[in-house]
Amino acid sequence: MKKLFVITFCTLAVAITIVSCGGSDKPGRSYMPDMSYSVAYETYAPSDERLKASGATYNHQPVKGSIARGDAFPYTIPKSDSGYARAAFVKNPLNIDSINLKEAERLYLINCGICHGAKLDGDGPLYKGGEGPFTAKPIPLVNDEKANNMTDGTMFYSVTYGKGQMGSYASQLNTKQRWEVVAYIKSKQAKKVAPAAATGAPAADTTAAK
């Protein structure tokens, strides 16, 4: 009798185990869900559905036009011909005196020097006077009339969206870093242009003497 009882009990236990494990894909009921899921609205907690069910419109996105703390103002000029023309009037929003030019130089050398040259002469190792693997000629960024006359805003636009054979650098450099690199180029132009302007006067004199 005792044996029969043990055998029946074991068979029942095995049967229940098998039945309860298989079959349904449903996860089963959650007893006291507030203990499993935090009441606070966490990113992946199912409370989203609860919010939706209550009619709230909540999508985890910041309000349009929000600016992260410490972030620069968004650049609103679109990529278009008229955008390129308008970009020329955009001023560098950074405080020029507080820009760390050493850091800007580092960013330039990593991202731009390979084409525009460590000396900004438009002859980096990728171009190498036309013998390098990159066949499009990068413009010289110093001692060049076009570059000297180019405003900060135009440079920023071209680095942001790309220009001709040059790609966009918006994913490598954030807004602040792009303005820093532009300021670095302008600081180099200021240094190199000065002697050229100084020699301009005697050059004019010699032509007058001829």
List residues binding ligand HEC (CB under 6 A).
111-112, 114-116, 126, 134, 136, 138-139, 154-155, 158-159, 163-166, 169, 181
Which residue number, 20 or 135, has a Cβ lying nearer to ligand HEC?
A: 135
Separation in Å, CA 1 to CA 7, 10, 13, 32: 10, 14, 18, 43
- The closest of 82, 84, 104 to 151, measured between CA atoms, is 84
Which residue number, 47 or 151, has a Cβ lying nearer to ligand HEC?
A: 151
Q: How wide is the angle at C-alpha 11 spanned by C-alphas 7 and 14, nearest 5°? A: 140
Which residue number, 16 or 136, has a Cβ lying nearer to ligand HEC?
A: 136
Structure tokens at 158: 């071209």
- What is the number of the residue whose Cβ is closest to ligand HEC? 164
Which residue number, 94 or 114, has a Cβ lying nearer to ligand HEC?
A: 114
Question: Least CB distance from residue 152 to ligand HEC, whole Å?
Answer: 10
Question: Least CB distance from residue 119 to ligand HEC, whole Å?
Answer: 14
Question: Least CB distance from residue 111 to ligand HEC, whole Å?
Answer: 4
Task: Spell out the residues 6+ positions from residue 94 whose beta carbon is closer than 8 angstroms to its own.
Answer: 176, 179, 180, 183
Count other C-beta atoms under 10 Å from residue 38's C-beta. 10
Question: Least CB distance from residue 64 to ligand HEC, whole Å?
Answer: 29
* Residue 123 main-chain phi, psi, to 5 deg: -135, 60
Which residue number, 133 or 202, has a Cβ lying nearer to ligand HEC?
A: 133
Question: Least CB distance from residue 172 to ligand HEC, whole Å?
Answer: 7
Q: How wide is the angle at C-alpha 90 spanned by C-alphas 111 and 159, nearest 5°? A: 20
